Structure 1
Amino acid sequence: MSSQFLLAFFLVLLVLGYGAQGLQQDDPGSPALFGKVQESISSYWDTAKAAAQELYQKTYLTSVDEKLRDMYSKSSAAMSTYAGIFTDQLFTLLKGE
């Protein structure tokens, strides 16, 4: 639940940051206000990133890391096999008999 909340929080900050940047580019009338908003959001973003990194370092499990590496290697091997089969079929289809 907390990881979903953290993800939602990051997404909200990201949207607000891009929104403030877009408003700053669209309305050159008050660049100081938008600059402050963008700087504030950037500060919040950096704080949130630091908190997420700290949380990740606290909850780092080597067994999970090993499982993820194993899953990646197996899935990439399977994908390369299927990509090879697909390219062979495509070349056969294009070349003909």
Structure 2
Amino acid sequence: MNKLLVVSVLLAVLALSAEGFRMPRQAEDEEQGTLTMFSNTIKSYYSDAVNTISDYVETIKGLKVEEKVRNLYSETTTILSTYNSIVQDQLYHLFTGQQ
């Protein structure tokens, strides 16, 4: 008798919970106007472009381009300051001459 009661309670719970999982009916597609189709197309192209650009930005960030540019800048300024000092020294000796 207890098994029958347990089975009937479980069956009732399952039946009530299954009722909550019903899918709502989908309305039939309404005919879209020209302006709606045009705006949906523009929105689609815009979202595709934004997604593509976001992917490119993430790819560039993955390549660590910013770090490479910073290193290139620091190395270039170091080299140019060295050559600038050499040119200043040469110009100084060119204009002052030997005394």
Q: Normalising by structure 2, what TM-score? A: 0.40
Larger Cα-atom Rg: 2
Structure of greater relative contact order (alpha carbons < 8 Å, 6+ residues apart): 1
More helix per residue: 1
Q: Normalising by structure 1, what TM-score?
A: 0.40
